[in-house]
Structure 1
Amino acid sequence: MAEQLSWWSRLVARVRETSWAIDANDGIIATAGLLQGFAGAGAGDRLLLFTSIAAMLAGGLSAGGAKWAEVAAEREGELELAAEERSEIERDPEGELAELATYWQGRGLTPELAHEVAQQLMARDAVGAQLDAEHGIEEITHASAPWWAGVETAIAFMIGAAIPVIITFLAPVAIETWAIIVAVVVSLALTSLVAAGVGRLSAVRMLIRSLIVGLGTMGVSYLAGVLFF
């Protein structure tokens, strides 16, 4: 169980390290896909520019709000677990001490040393020790974390979305479709490679997934615009 928690903790850490790039990629893909749909429908420069700006703002706020809700829910779950552990410790302190000692014994300590470690941890922070051993929670998420996570996600999304927005502003409608495609491919490649390096993930697999999703989204959106409008 301890090895599973350790593996899960490392995976979560890697995902969080690369989440900014994923959020930026979402901004690139969502905005570019919407623009391709409008371009396929024959929209002019002003409508495309308005659409790109609206997609950047609405998408950023939506993504940030979703991330805030997600982290807030995680924190609430951690607080509920902490309350449960606190209640169990108050009800049966010796039993919880024995349970913690068993955990450390399973990690390779001798029964005597495991009992001593458990006693010291319970004396220092009983609830924290139980949360770490039973649920893999080293520290309860800070109250400000949901807000910061939401702001970071919104900013990352808008930075990604700004790429097709800028192209829409600078390029005439006759060439901006291809310019957006090229810019999206380059941007997704850069963010995917950087994220793969930071998260120690496979750069090739991450790049392929990003390009498939990005180009597929734009292709489907453009085709929908051509066929239905």
Structure 2
Amino acid sequence: MLGANDGIVSTSSLVLGVAASGVGSQGVLIAGVAGLVAGAMSMAAGEYVSVSSQADTELADLAREREELTTDPEHEFAELTEIYVKRGLDPKLAAEVAEQLMAHDALGAHARDELGISESLAARPVQAAFASAGTFSAGAALPLLVAVLFPAGALVWAVASSSLLFLALLGSLSARAGGAPLGAAAARVTFWGALAMAITFAVGALFGVAA
């Protein structure tokens, strides 16, 4: 949802800003497409770098845990037992669980219960990069599609109104998924989207007049 919101806000703002400067429909579309590509690549690169750093940290933590299991298994057993005690097991049962899990997969048990690393939650930089670029592109495509369908005279109002509608819908969907109030979420994302579009439009109009 966040990537799609970013795509809608940034691309619609760019389209409105360029349109306000007096550039023709072709120039507006070129700028919009360029903004979609640049934004998607920026999102992908940023997500890849961020998740790669997370993956490097996880690998370093696993390497340290593997060494500690080799050099001091008693301490690691006591550490895992204490974790289960804090989660509600009595000390005897916690020790039995820790013993069995370590006998089966000591590193996996410590990775999951001590470090919070599991196969399903492991950092995947490439997957994250594609997901981020994809959601941004999907959001950015909406105002571009409106810009293609509407004539130049109605482009500004069509892009602005449809983008605010898209933002409100996405805000509501995001709130529903998270169990939050729909109205507040929709109003929040719509307000900031409208502000971004208004400021960019004003900048484009200012530079258009100056030119």
- TM norm structure 2: 0.91
Give 1:141 deviation, angstroms: 5.1
Tell me the equivalent position of 1:89: 69
Matched, 1:125 2:105: yes
- CA distance in 2 between counterparts of 1:91 and 1:206 reads 51
CA deviations on 1:40-93 (whole Å, 9 max, x unpaired) are: 211111110111111111111221222222222222211111111111111110
Report the 3-state secondary structure (helix = DSSP H, G, I; strand = E; otherwise coil) of the residue aligned with 1:135: coil
Q: CA deviation at 1:131?
A: 2.3
Letter of the 1:161 counterpart = A
AA paired with 1:99?
E
Paired residues in the alignment total 208
Structure 2: which 5+ residue stretches go unaligned? none
Instruction: Quote the Cα distance in structure 2 between the aligned partners of 1:83 and 1:209.
Output: 44
Q: In the alignment, what sits opposite 2:171? A: 192
Please give the per-residue CA displacement for 1:194-217, whole angstroms capped at 9, x wherever unaligned.
222223333223212211221011
Deviations 1:84-107 (A, max 9, x none): 111111111001101111111111
Given that residues 79 and 140 in structure 1 are in contact (C-alpha distance below 8 angstroms), is that contact kept between their aligned partners in structure 2? no
Code of the residue aligned with 2:19 in structure 1: it is A
Match of 1:44 in 2: 24
Aligned pairs (5 A) from 1:73-88? 73-88=53-68
Per-residue Cα deviation, 1:176-211 (whole angstroms, up to 9, x for no partner): 100011111111111122222223333223212211
Deviation at 1:142, TM superposition (A): 5.3
Is the contact made by 2:172 and 2:186 (CA closer than 8 Å) also made in structure 1?
yes
Aligned-partner Cα distance in 1 for 2:52–2:155: 40
Structure 1 contact 64–154 (Cα < 8 Å) conserved: yes
Aligned alpha-carbon RMSD (Å): 1.7
Greater CA drift, 45-54 or 203-212: 203-212
SS at match of 2:114: helix
What corresponds to 1:31 in structure 2? 11
Identify the range of structure 1 (147-156 vs 85-94) with the bigger mean alpha-carbon deviation: 147-156
Alpha-carbon distance, 1:159 to partner: 1.2
**Number of the residue aligned with 2:93:** 113
| Cα distance in structure 1, aligned partners of 2:75 and 2:122 | 29
Correspondence for 1:14: none
Structure 1 runs not aligned, ≥5 long: 1-20
**What amino acid is the match of 1:198?**
A
User: What is the CA distance between 1:34 and its match in structure 2?
Assistant: 0.8
Contact map agreement 1:128 1:139 (CA 8 A) in 2: no
Aligned pair partner of 1:171 in 139, 145, 150: 150
Q: Scaled by the length of structure 1, what TM-score is found?
A: 0.85
Distance in 2 (CA, whole Å) between partners of 1:74 and 1:141 is 11
**For residues 75 and 141 of structure 1, what CA distance do their matches in structure 2 show?**
11
Structure 1 CA distance, aligned partners of 2:167 and 2:178? 16
Deviation at 1:112, TM superposition (A): 0.9
Match for residue 115 of structure 2 among 124, 132, 135:
135
Q: Percent identity?
A: 36
CA offsets per residue over residues 149-191 of structure 1, 9 Å max, x none?
A: 2112211111111111112212122111000111111111111
Distance in 2, matches of 1:117 and 1:170, equals 63
Q: Any idea what SS the aligned residue of 1:120 has?
A: helix
| Letter of the 1:118 counterpart | A
Which residue identity does 1:134 align to in structure 2?
A: E
With 185-194 and 23-32 compared, the bigger mean Cα shift is at 185-194
Structure 2 residue 129 is the aligned partner of structure 1 residue 146 = no
